[in-house]
Amino acid sequence: MFAIVNIAGQQFKVKKDDELFVHRLSGNVGENVEFSEVLMTSTGGNIKFTDSVKVKAEIVDHLKGDKVIVFKKKRRKGYQKSNGHRQYLTKIKIKDIA
């Protein structure tokens, strides 16, 4: 069984015991979170579009992603600008789809 769920503005295909990296969620490590915006579920090839399904997950860790380098340059003008950032992420583990 899997479900397509909207988590923090992004859509993910999740199954039980999956671990995902999503945008930073509020809550502490070890807390349970519930996502009610489930777009689709599938069990054994039967696809259902329903609103009554909820996905339960546990927050495993808060961390930062890999560094992304942004480099801008305009040729023959002497302009170079380097910038970078690290995205704040939350690692979650899917407990149940019910």
Per-residue pLDDT in tens (0 to 9) along the chain, 98 residues: 999 999 999 999 999 999 999 999 999 999 999 999 999 999 988 999 988 999 999 999 999 999 999 999 999 999 999 999 999 999 999 999 99
Measured between alpha carbons, how far is 56 from 37 in angstroms, rounded to an integer? Answer: 11
- pLDDT at res. 51: 85
| Domain residue extents for the chain | 2-62+91-97
For the chain, counts of helices (H) and of strands (E): 0, 8
| Reported pTM | 0.84
- pLDDT at res. 89: 97
